[in-house]
């Protein structure tokens, strides 16, 4: 299955059928870390777990109503003060996976 087709299919599913959890490391300018933190905590599906003085943040991003996790992660680089965004963990389950069908 082509990636674009897979993405479109997954985005169209009701969110209760999909479990999509992403662990993200975000590096921000240290002087902007509180501003970035405040923006992140207002984003649906985003949770900040820790923030260091040197500007590193450990964040989880999940699908939220109207916000696919992949699109949310892509938008993180648009936040003023963000230097780098790295996906470090990804867990994905859907009803298709639970029924024994293979997603390829």
Q: What DSSP line would sit under 76-91, residue for residue?
A: GGGSTTEEEEEEEEEE
Residue with tokens 């680089």: 77
Q: How confident is the model at residue 93 (pLDDT cuts 50, 70, 90)?
A: confident
Please check whether residue 55 is in contact with residue 33, taking contact to mean a CB–CB distance below 8 angstroms: yes
Q: List residues bridging with 92 in a β-sheet.
A: 20
Q: How confident is the model at residue 67 (pLDDT cuts 50, 70, 90)?
A: confident
Q: Which two tokens stand for residue 42?
A: 């207002």
How far is it, in rounded angstroms, from Cα 3 to Cα 1? 6
Q: Give pLDDT, residue 82.
A: 98
This prediction's pTM: 0.74
Q: Give pLDDT, residue 65.
A: 82
Q: ∠ CA 77-78-80 to the nearest 5 degrees? A: 100
Answer with the residue of higher pLDDT: 71 or 8: 71
How do the domains of the chain map onto residue ranges? Answer: 19-96
Query: Which residue from 16, 57, 19 is spatially nearest to 35, judged by alpha carbons?
Result: 57
Q: How confident is the model at residue 85 (pLDDT cuts 50, 70, 90)?
A: very high
pLDDT, one tens digit per residue, over 8-62 is 666 666 555 567 899 999 999 999 999 999 999 999 999 999 999 999 999 999 9
The fold for domain 19-96 equals Alpha-Beta Plaits (3.30.70)
């Amino acid at each position: 299955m082509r990636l674009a087709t897979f993405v479109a299919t997954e985005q169209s599913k009701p969110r209760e059928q999909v479990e999509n959890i992403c662990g993200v490391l975000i590096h921000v300018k240290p002087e902007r870390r509180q501003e970035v933190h405040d923006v992140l905590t207002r984003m649906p599906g985003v949770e900040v777990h820790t923030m260091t003085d040197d500007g590193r943040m450990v964040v989880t991003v999940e699908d939220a109503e109207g916000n696919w996790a992949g699109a949310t992660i892509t938008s993180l680089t648009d936040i003023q003060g963000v230097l780098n965004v790295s996906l470090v963990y990804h867990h994905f389950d859907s009803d298709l996976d639970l029924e024994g069908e293979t997603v390829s």
